[in-house]
Amino acid sequence: MGNASTINPDDREPGSDTVSYRPFVVQDIIITGNKKTRPYIIERELLFRRGDSVNLSELVKKFERSRELLLNTALFHEVVISLQKFQGYQIFIAIDVKERWYIFPIPYFKPVDRNLSEWVKQGLGIDRVNYGFKFSYYNFTGRNDRLKLWLITGYTKQIQFQYDLPYMDKVLKHGIRFNFSYSTNKEVNYATINDQQQFYKDSTNKTLSKIYTAGIDFTYRPYIKTRNTLKIGYVYQQVDSSVIKQNPEYFNSNSTQVSFPEVSYKVEYTDVDYIPYPQKGFMGEISLLKRGLNSTMNMWQLGYRGIQSVKLTPKTSYTFQSNGMLRLPFKQPFVNQRMFGYNDFYLRGLEEYVIDGVAGVLARNTIRTKIFSFNILSPFNTSIQKIPFQFFAKTYADAGYSYNETSPENYLVNRMMYTAGLGIDMLTIYDIVLRFEYSFNQLGNPGFFFHVKNDF
């Protein structure tokens, strides 16, 4: 961020012997470097506007926070905000950005298991891998809109389309998202036994599962930090009769298919320095989901997620993350019981297990410190001149609980769970975070775990 210029000591009010820190007026905001991004998308994230009256001490703080907000849009590698010049009590602000590469027509290769450790446990089989083509076009029209098209084969046959337009009105508060997906599978996770996923595959290698989903999301972002999302969708799911024979509670009925509407509402609050790896600030969300309308599929789900990060020293931070989920009524089919071990809802050190449930809480405590960083010259002729790498050492301790009245035979349900460990995190361009962790759990079986996080 550029440094603010100093005030001329001769700027005094008439008849006063003290320096007058009278407000300055933002006369203009000059934006450069935005070859694709429309200027009003950048100005949407700023904490100052043309015509605002500000004093310089407050403006410096707004510069830094606006820079963080622009980086959190995932549109830019670098953002520099500085005072360009003064004209009396009028100031001119310069914003220079370096845009990311927005088009990713890349081959897709990813194990289908919940994490890399689980894939290793399943034997590293190529038959447990999805591969194909994944086309993502970020900032499609320069309005921070996103177009995604996935054509996947291998373990799962999948077609997915999504278009996200975050701002579709002149006041830049309302947005919309369309999505559609179709997938088939020849293997189905039909149950959880001994806290392990159980898979069924027919000897004739026939397709056992088909899923269609379609939905539309409406977003409302009235302020910088808050976003509201209303989602309306429809799901059709069909499985082979052999799956129901393996687990009659799969759909909680004798039927081999279910179709139902889904309606959800989510409120998100984000006030952190860097969303993929926050070191200061708070972000959280509360969501309410209604799935189905009759006895075949009937579920209310209330969810919560919060992350609070505090700087202890310039290089060290403490982060507390809490998650909670409640599903009603408590008696739910197997397809509605996923809890621990899926997505980001897991204890570090228990990645090898899944803990089903209808109510669950999770708490993570992490202390991390930056140990070193460096840049390497980019081998590509793009706007990226240097590729940054940052390394953090960390220690952590997690706790969680999952309630499930329908499968008490699984050891980890209906009891407190504890884990702890040490690790190294690496951050680099495009919000890629690599996590290397050695964890201990209450079962007495420590292990090394590797996680990759990105949005490609």
Banded pLDDT at 409 (limits 50, 70, 90): confident
- Averaged confidence pLDDT in the chain: 89
The answer to whether residue 290 scores a pLDDT higher than 90 is yes
Q: Give pLDDT, residue 453.
A: 81
E strand or H helix at 70: helix 56-71
Q: Give pLDDT, residue 257.
A: 94
- Rounded to an integer, the average pLDDT of 336-365 is 95
Domain boundaries, the chain: 24-99, 103-453
Label residues 7-31 b or e (16+ Cβ within 10 Å = b).
beeeeeeeeeeeeeeeebebbebeb
Report the residue count for the chain.
456
- Reading the block at residue 362, the tokens are 């999770």
- Rounded to an integer, the average pLDDT of 105-109 is 69
Sheet with 76-87, side-by-side order of all strands? 53-54, 24-32, 90-99, 76-87
Banded pLDDT at 455 (limits 50, 70, 90): low
The answer to whether residue 390 scores a pLDDT higher than 80 is yes
Banded pLDDT at 14 (limits 50, 70, 90): very low
Residue 272 or 187, more confident: 272
Label residues 241-273 b or e (16+ Cβ within 10 Å = b).
ebbbebbebbbbeeeeebebebebebebebbbb
The answer to whether residue 271 scores a pLDDT higher than 60 is yes
d(CA 301, CA 290): 6
Q: Give pLDDT, residue 19.
A: 40
- CATH fold match for the domains 24-99 and 103-453: no
Q: Which of 9-18, 183-192, 218-227, 366-375 has the lowest mean pLDDT?
A: 9-18
CATH class of residue range 103-453: mainly beta
d(CA 308, CA 286): 15
- Of all residues in the chain, the percent with pLDDT exceeding 70 is 88
Q: Which of 48-52, 64-68, 126-130, 227-231 has the lowest mean pLDDT?
A: 126-130
- Of all residues in the chain, the percent with pLDDT exceeding 90 is 73
The answer to whether residue 164 scores a pLDDT higher than 60 is yes
CATH entry 2.30.130.60 includes domain 24-99: no
Banded pLDDT at 4 (limits 50, 70, 90): very low
E strand or H helix at 193: strand 187-193
The answer to whether residue 91 scores a pLDDT higher than 60 is yes
The answer to whether residue 105 scores a pLDDT higher than 90 is no
Q: How far is CA 106 from the centre of its chain?
A: 21
Helix (H, G, I), strand (E, B) or coil at 453: strand
Q: To which residue do tokens 């840049």 refer?
A: 375
The answer to whether residue 168 scores a pLDDT higher than 80 is yes
What digits encode the pLDDT tens for the residues 173-219?
999 999 999 999 888 999 999 999 999 988 888 899 999 999 999 99
The answer to whether residue 286 scores a pLDDT higher than 80 is yes
d(CA 52, CA 62): 12
